[in-house]
């Protein structure tokens, strides 16, 4: 009987450990505190405006509009896994992904007072200046 209790106790620890690991890896969309750029959204869009390289192909074809990008703000505030939700053209999509990959870290989102991974979606506008 003691041996059975010991085995059950060990198995419960393994299962709970896996549940905790899964919880830590979960990506949220709704959290207690949303992630935000250091300096606010204005600072983020200032970064985009300053660093956006309007693709020559898009200029020549007079392509304008928005690329919608989703990405994950991880527990440390790093922007990871950028993906195009709604694209404009291949070159603009690639530029939007580059901007997100190179963006400064954000203040991470929090759930139950702990930093967690949060999925964020933002538009990036392409238009001639």
Q: Please tell me the predicted confidence (pLDDT) of residue 12.
A: 47
* Per-residue pLDDT at 41: 95
Question: 0.75 cut: is pTM over it?
Answer: yes
Burial 55-87 (b: 16+ CB within 10 A, else e): beebeeeebeebbebbbbbbbebebeebebeee
Q: Indicate the domain borders of the chain.
A: 27-126
SS3 content of the chain, % helix, strand, coil (to 5): 40, 30, 25
State the 10-residue block means of pLDDT for the chain, 129 residues long: 46 45 75 97 97 94 96 98 97 98 98 97 91
Give the CATH number of domain 27-126: 3.30.2420
């Amino acid at each position: 009987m003691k041996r059975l209790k010991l085995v059950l106790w060990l198995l419960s620890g393994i299962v709970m450990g896996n549940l905790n690991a899964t919880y830590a890896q979960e990506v949220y969309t709704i959290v207690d505190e949303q992630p935000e750029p250091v300096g606010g959204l204005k600072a983020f869009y200032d970064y985009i405006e300053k660093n956006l390289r309007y693709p020559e192909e898009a200029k020549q074809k007079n392509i304008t509009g928005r690329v919608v990008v989703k990405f994950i703000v991880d527990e440390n505030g790093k922007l990871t896994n950028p993906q195009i939700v709604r694209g404009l053209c291949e070159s603009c999509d690639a530029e939007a992904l580059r901007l997100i990959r190179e963006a400064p870290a954000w203040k991470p989102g929090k759930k139950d007072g702990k930093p967690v991974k949060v999925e964020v979606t933002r538009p990036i506008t392409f238009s001639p200046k």
